[in-house]
Structure 1
Amino acid sequence: MSRTHSRGALVAGGTLVLLLLTAASCDDDDPGVRLGTATVGTVDEIVEAPGSVTARSAATVSAPAPGTIGELRVEPGARVTKGDVLAVIDSPELRQRRDAALKALDAIPSGGGASPGDFAQVRTTTDRKAAKAFDEALASIGKITDPVLREAFERQVSAAREQYQAASDAAAAAVRAVQRGVSSLGQAISSLSAAQRLQAQQAYDLADAAVDALTLTAPVAGVVQFGGPAPAAPAGLSALTGATTPSEGVDSSVFEGAYVTPGTPLLTVVDVRKLGLSAEVDETDVLLVKPGVKADVELDAATGASYPATVRSVDLLPTTSARGGVSYRVRLDLGAGELTDGGGAAPAPRPGMSAVIRLKVRQAADAVTVPASAVVSADGRDTVWAVQDGRYQAVPVRLGVQGEETVQVLSGVSAGQQIVVAGTDRVQPGGEVP
């Protein structure tokens, strides 16, 4: 990040300050000295930062299991709403697992089928089958990229595990009661049978849910693009939202019949209904940036256009800038732009486009201002050459908001006072003003 003014890299903006400049010179041999007048106006202090256009949200849909793309129902550039079916994966492995689970469920006898001698073995086998079903379900869930769907399946597995554990514990308690002679054999058989049937039903339900996950739906509304995240962009030009960046171009590997492995990114849905910006602000300037601060934005891809923006948030944790320094990510809402030559609306940006963001971090209205060129450093203090009693005199000043063209003077100079605005290096203390 840079501040473009030589005294602090700040840019003047806001109300145009009219400096009543008067051409003058110290003498006929020194025409380089120019006088002006301190006046009242508005000064904007600008922090300039690199950044990029971001989308409202973006999400990549990946293959949840090994298989082939059986159906591809969208084309690149298609607009979809949340929940629309994008593709269907054909996974023989998951379908075989569901068929096997259904067969095992149908094979459970209605009366249980366990005898007193094999109670312990039946319970151990049932527990092992349940654990295997839960592990397989969790492995399948781990490949689902839609966070909402993944969380729902995780809750389903967690609830099923707790339910089965309660049934298994009940069966074990019933068996112990029979062994102590305080319960009937029928109660133990019934409890063990219930645990067996519950385990088989849960194994089928989880396998069926995994098959359902092969139908890939849009997690957000937006525009479809084939493929997954793009390679990481340089610092300051990264990430659409802090979520997922869509890949560049069309992924030629996405087509019906293509073989996919678990986790293969297939499609990315980008919500561009509301665009934003991600700016990298240097640590030396970030304390000046607050939510609500306005900004002007220029895009490399839209020459001659200007876009308004407003700071939405400032990250607390730092990042490393492209130059190796510490910077903080600032997120902004981006408005509709206009062509600076008055030619009408500017073109709509695309996510990932690089931008220069000029943040108006401070403003002083109705302030005493002088040209930035009038302020010099003398003995380590900001100083202005003022005209007093017809002679030049160095006057220490205290500055406020500083701009590239003008700066605010808090003390030392008053509005209307005549000052040297150019050629300060030619002025001598006490020199007579021609």
Structure 2
Amino acid sequence: MSRSPRRATVLLLACVLLPPLAAASCGDEPSGVTVGTAARGTVDEIVEASGAVTARAAGTVTSPADGTLAELRVDAGDRVRKGQVVAIVDSPAAEKRLDDAAEALDAASGGNVSTGGGAAGFTAARRRTDANAAKAFAAAREAAEEITDPALRKALLAQVAAAQRQYAAVSAAAGAAVRSVQSGVASVAAAVDALTAAQRVQARQAYELAEASVDALTLRAPVSGVVQLGGTASTAAPSLTDLISNADPTAVGTPAQAPLPGVDVAVPVGAAVGAGTPILTVVDVAGLGVAAEVDETDVLLVKAGGTGTVELDAAAGARYVATVRAIDLLPTTSARGGVSYRVRLTLGRGTYPDGTAAPAPRPGMSAIVRLRVRQATDAVTVPASAVVSRDGGDGVWAVRGGKAERVPVTLGVQGEDLVQVVSGLDAGQRIVVAGADQVSPGQDLP
């Protein structure tokens, strides 16, 4: 039977064409059988995969607390730098926590702790201090968890953890002092000093954590790039994280409810916001890429540094150059159960067939990627339709003495249109190039 292409996703380009088959054929050939000759040329094997254009990085700026959007210092399309102030949220609740913490800090700094008298009073005072500390840590951690900027959230949570460790040491020292008073081996003054120190540390930490929460109300750009107001488009669309090509994708906040059709998702200045409400998204499009899903049967052929071309539905006819940057080690599984691996490419400039420049793509645009994975130069080539596979081996029908003779061949670079013959056949030899599945040994051929 005639050999089918090795895989549906492999294409092949040849820079040397076979001699015209019409000139090599004869009117006396059996119906559907065409005789031609093996040729010599350069063959590129291409792996084809679908993918999407990716941005270098992106991050959505969200409100860290309930309040109102007091200032919006940028507009859609503006370019911003990483760390630039882009908006300010007014949160009365966060500011009240800071005011209360400031009052508590002033009170703790004013004098010694009031124990209420006796060992029981010392124990009660320590328990109140521990309870206040636990409450402050819980409130600070809750506020930090609501922040979607991963770097800021990580920093605030680390600050809470460090404060807890510091307070635990001071609280343990106060507890030891109270037990010493109870056992009669230490003076009351020592216990008072230890409890006072614990209260002061607790009050100072509560103030610093509340202050950090208020500072977080000043929103800064997580990356350098172009501003897009609001968050991602909708819950039905792929998340922006999936369209980021860098190693550290930033989390994307989601509004409390989907926006109504036809309503601008941008939050106006003065509007109420909740913790996690997306204010704006910054997208770094300075270096675009492509994420392609390559089937498991092809991925071992793809190498970092390999080259290819990219075609976009949005720019019909244009071709963009691309270079393989990395191949993921872990697979992705499609809804149908197929296994593929994500190949990440750097996207270059594109041109139309007439040489004019193609437009710059946008993240998320659908792409077809064609990667050149193998090449054979000055190689013997035959049409893929000339190859017949039987009993686990490949061969072609050669024309010798006017009769068909099956010749075993070893194939190299393979494709849909042409394949390379490594051994068993020489350029110029006459072979059956079409209708090979209709030929039998010894059959008369011109």
> Same fold per TM (> 0.5)?
yes
SS of equivalent to 2:130: helix
* Aligned match for 2:162, one of 159, 162, 167: 159
**1:73–1:87: 8 Å Cα contact kept in structure 2?**
yes
Runs of at least 5 residues in structure 2 that lack an aligned partner in the other structure? none
Q: 2:337, 2:7 → 1: CA distance?
A: 21
Question: Who is 2:298 aligned against?
Answer: 285
TM-score (norm 1): 0.91
Question: Who is 1:326 aligned against?
Answer: 339
Q: Which moved more, 1:387-396 or 1:256-265?
A: 387-396
SS of equivalent to 1:168: helix
Q: Which moved more, 1:24-33 or 1:357-366?
A: 24-33
Question: Who is 1:105 aligned against?
Answer: 105
SS of equivalent to 1:257: coil
Q: Which moved more, 1:235-244 or 1:406-415?
A: 235-244
Once the two structures are superposed, what CA deviation does each residue of 1:410-434 show, in whole Å capped at 9, x if it has no partner?
A: 2221233222223435645334443
Matches within 5 A, 1:254-273: 254-273=267-286
Question: Who is 1:17 aligned against?
Answer: 16
Residue 403 (str. 1) matches residue 406 (str. 2): no
SS of equivalent to 1:352: coil
Q: CA deviation at 1:33?
A: 4.5
Q: CA deviation at 1:169?
A: 1.0
Q: CA deviation at 1:166?
A: 0.9
Question: Who is 1:275 aligned against?
Answer: 288
Q: 1:256, 1:223 → 2: CA distance?
A: 20
Q: CA deviation at 1:66?
A: 0.5
Runs of at least 5 residues in structure 1 that lack an aligned partner in the other structure? none
Question: Who is 2:442 aligned against?
Answer: 430
Q: CA deviation at 1:205?
A: 0.7
Q: CA deviation at 1:234?
A: 7.3
Q: 1:403, 1:218 → 2: CA distance?
A: 48
Matches within 5 A, 1:28-107: 28=28, 30=30, 33-107=33-107
Q: CA deviation at 1:407?
A: 0.2
CA distance 1:237–1:6, change in 2 (3 Å): farther
- Count of paired positions: 428
Q: 2:207, 2:241 → 1: CA distance?
A: 43
Q: CA deviation at 1:392?
A: 2.5
The letter of the residue matching 1:303 is A
TM-score (norm 2): 0.88
Runs of 4+ aligned structure 1 residues displaced above 4 Å come to 29-33, 232-238, 244-251, 425-428
Q: Which moved more, 1:33-42 or 1:292-301?
A: 33-42
Residue 133 (str. 1) matches residue 132 (str. 2): no
Question: Who is 1:313 aligned against?
Answer: 326
CA distance 1:49–1:323, change in 2 (3 Å): farther
CA distance 1:67–1:88, change in 2 (3 Å): same
Q: 1:93, 1:396 → 2: CA distance?
A: 82
The letter of the residue matching 2:82 is K
Q: 1:425, 1:238 → 2: CA distance?
A: 51
Q: 1:59, 1:237 → 2: CA distance?
A: 8
Q: 1:421, 1:358 → 2: CA distance?
A: 27
Once the two structures are superposed, what CA deviation does each residue of 1:317-372 show, in whole Å capped at 9, x if it has no partner?
A: 32232544222222111111111222x22110000000111122222223221122
Q: 2:263, 2:377 → 1: CA distance?
A: 51
Q: CA deviation at 1:294?
A: 1.8
The letter of the residue matching 1:209 is A
**1:304–1:341: 8 Å Cα contact kept in structure 2?**
no
Q: 1:94, 1:246 → 2: CA distance?
A: 20
Q: Identity across aligned pairs (percent)?
A: 61
Provide the aligned C-alpha RMSD in A. 2.7
Q: 2:24, 2:171 → 1: CA distance?
A: 100
